[in-house]
A = this chain, B = another copy of it.
């Protein structure tokens, strides 16, 4: 399932696909899937609304074999996500691939695509675990540092779980895949790396504590 592709499209379509049944393969695929999910900040969720797909960015968290999403009880998109299959995509762009021809221009990337029917999480303990996973995914060290959700806030929150069984991972790494005839071209060929990093924390004007805590400071470094 995990593969290095060198195709024309900068990011190649990942067909809707099921995880192979071979255990060994599945183990490495799952590790690759988890690695992409754990490295991403946001996902794009596709839901069906009025017969057409709607793609929206949102936060997520992962615990074992489950992806968690959350949102407001008033969200029409979340309601739509509970009435049919969804597609969740997490993509990390690692580089721009400069080829010697327009046709072979590409990107290096890691991409995970998950399909399935989300289920609303109703068990209060699982809801808390899921919300913790989502918050800790985007802001490690936070759950125990700030005020937890109260009853009113929990009542306003919908939590969805999505099984990671039907998922695929694709990636592209390395140099451009130019045509043999173009290898003598004087055009520079190579990769321009794309990095994401966290900058210097900006303290809110009304924050009593001026200095960001260690769990925030620790993130200020190249992150990918």
Q: Which positions in A face B, CB cutoff 8 Å?
A: 7-11, 13-16, 41-42, 44-59, 70-72, 75-78, 84-89, 91, 93, 95-96, 98-103, 105, 107, 109, 111, 113, 115, 131, 135, 138-139, 142-143, 145-150, 153, 156-157, 175-176, 182-213, 216, 219-220
Residues of B within 8 A of A8 (CB): 71-72, 153, 156-157
Q: How far apart sit A101 and B148, CA to CA, in the bound complex (Å)?
A: 6
Residues of B within 8 A of A212 (CB): 98, 188, 190, 192
Q: Do B194 and A195 touch (CB < 8 A)? A: no
Q: Do B201 and A191 touch (CB < 8 A)? A: yes
Using known A-B contacts A59-B10, A111-B57, determine if residue A52 contacts B87 with beta carbons closer than 8 Å: yes
Q: How far apart sit A53 and B189, CA to CA, in the bound complex (Å)?
A: 37
Q: Which 3 A-B pairs have the closest CB atoms?
A: A46-B53, A193-B199, A46-B46
Q: Do A53 and B86 touch (CB < 8 A)? A: yes
Of chain B, the residue at the smallest CB distance from A158 is: B9
Q: Do A87 and B219 touch (CB < 8 A)? A: no
Q: Do A149 and B101 touch (CB < 8 A)? A: yes
Q: How far apart sit A172 and B149, CA to CA, in the bound complex (Å)?
A: 22
Residues of B within 8 A of A115 (CB): 52, 54
Of chain B, the residue at the smallest CB distance from A52 is: B85
Q: Do A105 and B135 touch (CB < 8 A)? A: yes
Residues of B within 8 A of A189 (CB): 203-204, 206-207, 209
Q: Do A209 and B187 touch (CB < 8 A)? A: yes
Q: Do B52 and A84 touch (CB < 8 A)? A: yes
Residues of B within 8 A of A91 (CB): 42, 44, 57
Find A16's partner among B54, B89, B93 (CB 8 Å cutoff).
Answer: B54
